[in-house]
Structure 1
Amino acid sequence: MSRDLRGPGPGPGPEALAALAEWVAVESVSSDPDRAAQVGRSARWLVDALHGAGWPRAEVWETDGLPAVYGCRPAADPGAPVLLVYSHHDVHPADPSEWRVTAPFTPRLRAGRLYGRGASDAKGQIMCHLWALRAHLAQREAPAVTVKYLVEGEEEIGSGHLAQLLSEHAGELAADVVMVSDTMLWSLDEPAVCTLVRGSVTATLTVRGARRDLHSGAFSGAAANPVFELCRLLGLLRDGSGRVGLPRFYDAVSDPGPALRASLDTLPFRLSDWLAETGTFRADGEAGFGVPQRLWTRPSVEVARLTAGGGGAPSLGLIPAEAAADILLRLVPGQRADEVAGQLRTWLDGNRQPDFHYGLDVSPTISDPYATPEDHPALGALLRAVGGAYGAPARRIGNGGAAPAAQLSRACDAPVLFFGTGLPGDHWHGPDERAEVRALELGVRALAGFFDGLAALPRPW
């Protein structure tokens, strides 16, 4: 397969899309130990692609877990701004039985969309950057800015070794601006730039009511059932108005900046369109806020999984000894992940009942929320570049998921921008994930313009 990442014109041509499809076919599922070698293969594929595109430095960075990729393409001017692009090449698991258009790792181009696991989250977004740099270099020998890549292989499992990478390679990762490329657009008709991402705290809550599973015929009606106790606790996590029930949880919540707030207030949003694109039956969440505000500027809590009893045996005659729930809290600027983790522990301590045994395992890969400084010149350059690519002024939006933006900002002592080519209908983490070729084309144009705009900014910032 050709490694020509540009193809004809400013956007991804047939050969470029074929190269992306080749990469999407690599089963880089980081959560599956049996596919660890595939994650390594994915990293090597990207290194080869960088070398094939003329990058003088591209290499695999090993960790104590799964490998990352580093690349550097220096600017002609040694004093030019340095842009560090962060993304990930690992992908979420996929159940082939749920896919209809194609198998998860058998990419298919259909009606202007490339289907396959990772096509949008986030291999397509990474390739968009490579294509954009090739377009930027069509009229010059070297980029107007130095571009660095850090593409990790563990984002889908919590970025457990990202801190190791940032510490061990601090000098190589030094940058003036960081760009996280793992976010979504609003639509192909309304250009928008993400300026805020929520943080996250994940935890597993367990309740045990007996030393072993019990036969219901002998003990039903007298033995404690931990499933009911777990459900009672989960009901306390969110009240009737959709607010999170942790003590002091909202004390540090800050309102979005005026520019983002004004953009959200005028965002063209139709609930029926959103329900159709996401496959959701109804909108839910905190009362008093619209769907965009709930998604991006308000904290939330979700139950991601419930387990109880034996998974492989008939359950009709069983009182399970233990029940568990995976909990996910989304945080907004002003909140700190470590403080919210403490609030979760305090909440559990205040709601225990006698004689049940409780456990709370908070994941170490919690993340803080982050908001790009609203008046930073680099953000202005990105807004202008996106607006120029679309032919209309770019709005500001948020991103509902978490990204290690705060961690990257602290490590690099630099502001973080966000640029993505995903769309709400791309089915991230779901069946028939896809990337819109048109979104990739517009992304190429926007990024190529951003390189010039960033280089032209007066410094120091």
Structure 2
Amino acid sequence: MEQAEQDIREFLDAHDAALVDQLSEWVRIPSVAGVPEREHHLRRSAFWLAGALRDVGFPLTEIWSGPTGPAVYAEWCAAPGAPTVIVYSHHDVRAVKDENWDETAPFEPVVRDGRLFGRGSSDAKGQVIAHLWALRAHLHATGRTAPAVNLKVIVEGEEEAGSPGLAAMLDEQRARLDADVVLFSDTLLWRADHPALCTSVRGMVGATIEVLGPLTDIHSGAVSGTAPNPAIELGRLLGLLHDADGRIAFPRFYDDVEPISDQRRAELAALPFDADDWLERSHTRSINGEAGFSVFERLWERPALEVIALAAGDPVGVARAAVPSMASADLSIRITTGQHVETVAEQLRRWLEDAIGEGYGHRLSVEAKTAQEPYRTPEHPVVDALARSMAKGFGVPEVGRMGNAGGGPAELLARSLGVPVVFFGTGLVEDNWHDSDESASLDVLRSGAATLAHLWHDLGVNGITPTA
């Protein structure tokens, strides 16, 4: 092991307790997105992070206001001629159901068996903390007083709400956001013992279908057998969303889906996969989906549609024995390379108009403002540098290639800033993002921090031109 590699790992190991303490302090701030009574906690979280960035050495930190939560911006540009990297992540977290947490209360972090439990520990405060300690390790190992690259950091406070204010922020601040690449840190790794470099994210279209039956909720004893029941009709519609092979049934839906290249198939096939391991780590009962594709291909290269919420009648409280006037379902449609939000939204509209039963009304709302286009990282020297750095950081001969089943504003960042987006995150599927008992592997956080420390040195030495 080269001396710098050893110095980085020894530094991070020696400061493990400080990393845990800092992440725990931040997790205690309940910066929940989309909950008005938590809005002041989003501000507290932003100010906490701004202070933590200053403590590392960033000479400039700012708070940018967003419609539902503030973003933190920081600059440390003291390396003339070196590449400029924008680091993107977020500090807002998903809402919690306290009663479903067993390991600890959501905002009372605790360490057990090498994991730190608490909301945001992995998604995505842990990923940001890895960046802070990566910088410290980089400066320690190189003896520098400033990073070997120029860094600009954007950590938004609205990602879990669909980043409604990010486009306006990027437009307003565009003059100061020139860079060579964006490093997007809000993604997963495949496995702790087999890290893989993420090179794509799927897009996302959210929609709500409302099926209308009687003009009002009406006693079933008065109209049962004659009234249109929207809950039954909605159930029928949901059963038509997929065909027998698991394909989404919208007209012409797959016309724009790009075929999976032979290279991509080979990259995904090279990753180790065991069905029992996947079911255990993902907490899923079985493996379903589109016929003819592997699990990896279904997750990262093919579109998907999920029903994420249903409502009709009296789901809580005392039942009224009434036929409901309306039933609704929330859909999450994951789209992939070649597809576009507007086209998919129109395909959904046409499908619903054709499929809705006679005697029913309907409404469809598509969340256009928070929809996200898919993104694939182009071939770029930073990808090669990141692969080298991950191998060093995780102590493996080489790293694989993967995608990210979820989305994020990667395409927006690339389009707004005119530079490629490269992904590096420290999450794992077993971290339980958006679920109860979310946690982060401390080993993975340290390896992630080591990866980033190596990356800043690599880019500072080699720039963004290919190396032998």
Bucket of the pairwise TM-score, normalised by the shorter protein: over 0.9
After superposition, the Cα gap between the structure-2 partners of 1:400 and 1:389, relative to the gap in structure 1 and judged at 3 Å, is same
Shift of 1:27: 0.4
Matches within 5 A, 1:321-400: 321-364=325-368, 365-373=370-378, 375-390=379-394, 391-400=396-405
What per-residue deviation string (whole Å, max 9, x for no partner) do you get for residues 375-416 of structure 1? 311111111110122222010001000111111000111010
Shift of 1:64: 2.9
Partner Cα distance (1:453, 1:287) in 2: 42
Partner Cα distance (1:403, 1:71) in 2: 21
Shift of 1:233: 1.4
Partner Cα distance (2:96, 2:311) in 1: 20
Partner Cα distance (2:261, 2:376) in 1: 9
Verify the 8 A CA contact 1:179 1:419 in the aligned structure 2.
yes
Matched, 1:60 2:63: yes
Structure 2 counterpart of 1:242: 246
Structure 2 unaligned blocks of 5 or more: 1-7
Matched, 1:422 2:427: yes
TM-score for both structures, normalised by structure 1: 0.96
Matches within 5 A, 1:215-294: 215-294=219-298
Matches within 5 A, 1:15-414: 15-76=18-79, 78-138=80-140, 139-315=143-319, 317-364=321-368, 365-373=370-378, 375-390=379-394, 391-414=396-419
Structure 2 counterpart of 1:435: 440
After superposition, the Cα gap between the structure-2 partners of 1:221 and 1:235, relative to the gap in structure 1 and judged at 3 Å, is same
Structure 2 counterpart of 1:3: none
Partner Cα distance (1:252, 1:246) in 2: 13
* SS of equivalent residue, structure 1 residue 159: coil
Verify the 8 A CA contact 1:7 1:16 in the aligned structure 2.
no
In the alignment of these two chains, the number of paired residues is 454
* SS of equivalent residue, structure 1 residue 10: helix
Shift of 1:460: 6.8
Shift of 1:315: 2.5
* SS of equivalent residue, structure 2 residue 92: coil
Verify the 8 A CA contact 2:39 2:68 in the aligned structure 1.
no
Partner Cα distance (1:235, 1:75) in 2: 58
Partner Cα distance (2:427, 2:455) in 1: 18
Shift of 1:427: 0.6
Write the letter of the residue equivalent to 2:376: A
What per-residue deviation string (whole Å, max 9, x for no partner) do you get for residues 126-177 of structure 1? 0101110111111112111111111111111111111111111112222110
Partner Cα distance (1:319, 1:8) in 2: 66
Pairing partner for 1:453 from 443, 454, 458: 458
Verify the 8 A CA contact 1:306 1:326 in the aligned structure 2.
yes
Partner Cα distance (2:316, 2:288) in 1: 33
Write the letter of the residue equivalent to 1:323: A
Shift of 1:290: 1.5
Instruction: Give the aligned CA root-mean-square deviation in angstroms.
Output: 1.6
* SS of equivalent residue, structure 2 residue 348: helix
Partner Cα distance (1:355, 1:459) in 2: 62
Of stretches 84-93 and 171-180 in structure 1, the one that deviates more from structure 2 is 171-180
Structure 1 counterpart of 2:5: none
* SS of equivalent residue, structure 1 residue 402: coil
Verify the 8 A CA contact 2:82 2:148 in the aligned structure 1.
yes
Partner Cα distance (1:226, 1:236) in 2: 15
* SS of equivalent residue, structure 1 residue 171: helix
What per-residue deviation string (whole Å, max 9, x for no partner) do you get for residues 73-106 of structure 1? 1132x22111111111000011111111100000
* SS of equivalent residue, structure 2 residue 406: strand
Of stretches 297-306 and 251-260 in structure 1, the one that deviates more from structure 2 is 251-260
Structure 1 unaligned blocks of 5 or more: 1-5
Write the letter of the residue equivalent to 2:58: W
| Runs of 4+ in structure 1 over 6 Å off | none
Verify the 8 A CA contact 1:205 1:324 in the aligned structure 2.
yes
